[in-house]
Chains A and B, each alone.
Chain A
Amino acid sequence: MKRFFKIFKVAFRSINKNRTRSLLTMLGIIIGVGAVIMTISAGEGATLQVQNQISGLGTNLLMIQTKTEHKAGINVRMGRPIDKKDLDILQKNAVWMPKISPLVAIGAQAIGPNGYKSTTVYGVSFDYFFITSRAIELGEFFTEDDVKTAKKYCVIGATIREELFPGQDPIGRQIRIDKVPFTVVGLLTKEGSGGMGQDMDDIIVAPYTTIQNRLYGHQRGYNLIMASALSEDHIADAEIEAIELLRESHKINPDDEDDFDITTQIELQEITGNITGILTILLGAVASISLIVGGIGIMNIMLVSVTERTREIGTRLAIGARESDILSQFLIEAVVLSLVGGTIGVVFGFIGNQIIYKATGFFIPTAGYSILIGFGFSALVGVAFGYFPARKAAKLNPIDALRYE
């Protein structure tokens, strides 16, 4: 142990003696570890954001849609549309889904006194606000009665307000959605933009009855039905219940498949978790390549250094160093170089994350395990790529080494 310490000191001295070269050697590892940390963290950041967004979609959410099939790049509707009959059956019989709202979405032009904006208009029932846990900032939601009587009321998002009523109180004002006049009854609390480029405040919400009657022709179907399960533990129960009720409503034979799809929040989280997980691994793998390149850099310079220091090695052997002493010295040099490089890389990666956060507002949590991976990898690289040059040094014949010019 004491000799290990001595040899460690020897290795450290020779690193210190060639500071510029040592730093250049480390550069590859610094960049490699920095890149690993930044990419893994970016992946984690993306995961976090998507997860937040999904939980922001609603509380214990279930989404019921007609089955679609992806054909030649187009989603083709396969089953019967989800319609009023389905909604009624669910509302009447569901035990695990206390809140249910249909949703019809249309792209439309909203025109106000001071501007206009192309946006998405959601036709929903009152429960929608609960299901998606949206809050009101000014005014109020439209009521279930307003939905029943198909009032031309709407609630607008903050982005719409900025375009149509900049700096003004929009409550009670008139807007036109594709020429149909609506009264603004409420302003939604700002939600912020989702990471997928979706502006959660660039929306108008109105009673689905009004949208269907006035804007959506007389189509009966909905884009989907949203429901909120009683609690997180009952999402699965709610799903089973919805399947039973809808199969009944659609009169599907026991042997036939569902002609609708139910997506729950948990499934969404799992799917996106998988996708972002793969993304993280992929990014990390690409970054690891730079670490390997860094390792090869270490090996190159160590090999040059062994050749350059042949006489030194010969001298050490002559005064009684064992092969294992020389091997340890060079191995320690390589590992110290890569670990110090790794440490600097971790710091750079962390700083890089902060810079990205400051510049883009995209929060990147520097993942703890990415630091471990960075360190572990750099130590591994040091051993793996340092071993060959170290062995070469240790196997030198002392007489030849002493004679080396």
Chain B
Amino acid sequence: MPAKKVIETKNLSRVFKNGEIEVHALTDINMIIEQGEFVAIMGASGSGKSTLLHIIGCLDRATSGEYELDGVLVNSLNKNQLADVRNQKIGFIFQSYNLLSRTTALENVELPLIYDRTGQFTNAEELAKKALEQVGLANRIYHKTNELSGGQQQRVAIARALVNNPALILADEPTGNLDSKASIEIADLFVQLNNKGKTIVMITHEPEIAQFAKRMIYLRDGQIISDQLIENRSNKEFALKELEKPSTP
């Protein structure tokens, strides 16, 4: 049975125009990501990783090319439809968590369901609690965000991305603000979610985190320069052990 395509782009390009200056942030991106994949996107700063993720996440539009998400041709959607796609099909995770301050974990996780227009989530609180359980925060449900560590906050953000059961989880440097150990924990959490069938696309600068994924896409100057499966995937035990080794002289 061929796996379902979640993402398919054809000659996707994004050009930013600032007056006279044109920045070609993405040029002719062609890629297919299937259901159940765990893709790491790497590349130097300014190579277009975030721009690509924004377009995939329907926060931004391509200047040219086609983009199909979970069978929907995104190019033809209007603003409200894009918002609804984000609400129904995508879970976002950001480097700086972007949680509501002084608000409980539970309320933060419920947030996407407020904007649900399909009416399928009648039991928001229950779903939010379940999502928090999945990320290992069952005992922090009523803690406010400012009472949580960085790693825990990122878990809340992941729970928020999971709560509406999206087709795709997008993470832009989710471990960028965390120390190595917490980063490994988060990466491991992604692996667990992926094992349960979630499709994940994650931007990262850290090779050891990228190594948790199944596939790696490398960008340079807005173009894909390599796209390959990861052969010896990392895991939590291995990565933690590596951490304890003294750095090689």
Contact = CB atoms under 8 A, between A and B. Distances in A.
Nearest to B113: A6
A399 interface: yes
Interface residues of B, number: 30
A319 B60 contact: no
Contacts of A315: 94, 98-100, 111
Contact of B98 (A13, A314, A321): A314
A323 B102 CA distance: 24
Contacts of A319: 86-87, 91-92, 111-112, 115, 160
Contacts of B86: 317-320
Contacts of A398: 59
B115 A321 contact: yes
A315 to B, nearest CB: 4
B48 interface: no
Interface stretch (B76-84, B127-135, B190-198, B241-249): B76-84
B83 A322 contact: yes
B84 A318 contact: no
A251 interface: no
Secondary structure call for the A interface? helix
B36 interface: no
A3 B117 contact: yes
Interface string A306-350: 000001101111111111110000000000000000000000000
Contact of A321 (B83, B85, B92, B164): B83
Given A319-B87, A320-B83, A321-B83, A402 B114 contact: no
Nearest to B81: A322
B80 A311 contact: no
A216 to B, nearest CB: 84
B94 A402 contact: yes
Interface in B92-117: 92, 94, 98-100, 102-103, 107, 111-112, 114-117
Given A399-B59, A399-B60, A402-B94, A322 B54 contact: no
Contacts of B107: 13
A150 interface: no
B57 interface: yes
Nearest to B54: A399
Nearest to A311: B98
Given A6-B114, A314-B98, A398-B59, A320 B87 contact: yes
Nearest to B100: A312
B234 interface: no
Contacts of A3: 114-115, 117
A220 B98 CA distance: 95
A314 B54 CA distance: 12
A7 interface: yes
A156 B13 CA distance: 102
B114 A10 contact: yes
Nearest to A320: B87
Interface string A74-98: 0000000000000000000000000
B88 interface: yes
Contacts of B160: 319
- Which residue, A312, A317, A318, A402, has most C-beta atoms of chain B within 10 A? A318
Given A317-B83, A399-B59, A325 B102 contact: no
A218 interface: no
Contacts of B114: 3, 6-7, 10, 321
B60 A320 contact: no
A97 to B, nearest CB: 77
Contact of B115 (A311, A314, A316): A316
Contact of B59 (A17, A312, A318, A322): A318
Given A3-B117, A402-B98, A323 B111 contact: no
A301 B129 CA distance: 35
A312 B79 CA distance: 19
Contacts of B84: 320, 322
A325 B98 contact: no
A320 B98 contact: no
Contacts of A324: 80
Contacts of A325: 115
Contacts of B100: 312, 315
17 contacts: A3-B117, A311-B98, A314-B98, A319-B111, A319-B112, A319-B115, A320-B85, A320-B86, A320-B115, A320-B116, A320-B164, A321-B83, A321-B114, A321-B115, A322-B80, A322-B84, A402-B98
Interface of A: 3, 6-7, 10, 13, 17, 311-312, 314-325, 398-399, 402
4 shortest interchain CB distances as A-B pairs: A320-B87, A315-B98, A320-B86, A322-B83
